[in-house]
Amino acid sequence: MHSFQELSKQFSDKFKLDHFPSQPQGLYEPAQYFLGIGGKRIRPIACLMSNELFGDIENDTWQIANALELFHNFTLLHDDIMDEASLRRGKQTVHLRNGQNTAILSGDVMLIRAYEYLNDINFEILPVIFKLFNKTAKEVCEGQQYDMEFEKRENVAMDDYLRMIKLKTSVLLAASLEMGAIVGGATRNNCDRLYGFGKNLGIAFQIQDDYLDCFGDPAKFGKEVGGDIRRNKKTFLLIKAKEMVTGRQKEELDGLLAGDDEDKVERVLTIFRDCGIDMWAKELQKQYADKAFQNLEDVVVVKARKKPLYDLAEYLLNREY
């Protein structure tokens, strides 16, 4: 059995290989560049761990892990175009570096390459992996669509936001875990529990992400604290705040969101604190984390084998950066 750190290193090392032919360079070099920017490789690692719950990691799982990471990067590459992002993990985005057309086409070929990695897995499990992969891929696109639509809307209901987060973030982590379990020959029940673990963990992670952007320790948080507030980004916290405020507080919040005052972040945070949004978010995060841990506990496997997945969850939920 491998620890979180061991699997993380093993996957990162293997993933460094060239995933594309050399020609045409104009198509493949930008794709390879984008993969080289790095990232936490959470989804493939989760897939490998999930397989190892049920036995040794099989070659098929390494293939699926590559497919998952390529798919994830394809979504990031295209999302960067749509969001007009200039940086990704501190590096220039492909559409700025190589032009928009290249970013579209290199993203397309990255998605196809993801499918190519599924090609060689055992033909007996290929149909079920392929089906889950396709279903998840569509859901992630749906999540991105809702996310773009919500940006243009004045108000977003909490349930709608939650569904968007599930689609855009959670289902891919959930599917990664289920795929590892499928290769490991897990029962349907165990597959469902691992899917649930990933889904709830993903939501808890996103709440944490939204929380840290507001209440993170500036010394530990990599980005500017309050960036979401400055950009009026709809987050768990802002949506909840908008639901709660009334009277003068509502007027003040609406006024702050309409403008770009220098003390905007500070004053919105004061409203958040006055409404108890910080505590509410911590509590909501805990609820989803508890659900996730319950799902993991319910997987019928000796507890010791679950340690790497607990470590992964702790890593995702207890980070302060």
Footprint on this chain of a copy of itself (rule: CB under 8 A): 23-24, 26-27, 78, 81-82, 101-102, 104-105, 107-109, 111-113, 115-116, 118-120, 123-124, 126-127, 130-131, 134, 137-138, 141-142, 144-146, 148-149
Cα-only R_g, the chain: 20
CB of 45 to a copy of itself, least distance (A): 24
CB crowding 271-309: b at 16 or more within 10 Å, else e: bbeebebeebbeebbeebbebbbebbeebebeeeebebb
* Closer of 87 and 112 to a copy of itself (Cβ): 112
* Closer of 113 and 193 to a copy of itself (Cβ): 113
Residues 6+ apart with CB under 8 A from 38: 89
Within a 13 Å sphere around the CA of 58, how many CA atoms are in the beta-carbon half? 19
CA-wise closest residue to 269 among 254, 283, 253, 286: 253
* Closer of 40 and 153 to a copy of itself (Cβ): 153
With H, G, I as helix, E, B as strand and everything else as coil, classify residue 307: helix
* Closer of 134 and 189 to a copy of itself (Cβ): 134
CB of 110 to a copy of itself, least distance (A): 10
* Closer of 80 and 209 to a copy of itself (Cβ): 80
CB of 165 to a copy of itself, least distance (A): 15
* Closer of 144 and 295 to a copy of itself (Cβ): 144
CB of 298 to a copy of itself, least distance (A): 29
Residues 6+ apart with CB under 8 A from 169: 143, 202, 203, 205, 206
CB 114 within 8 A of CB 78: no
| Helix-helix angle 42-52:4-15, to 10 degrees | 120
CB of 24 to a copy of itself, least distance (A): 5
One-letter identity of residue 288? Y
CB of 287 to a copy of itself, least distance (A): 27
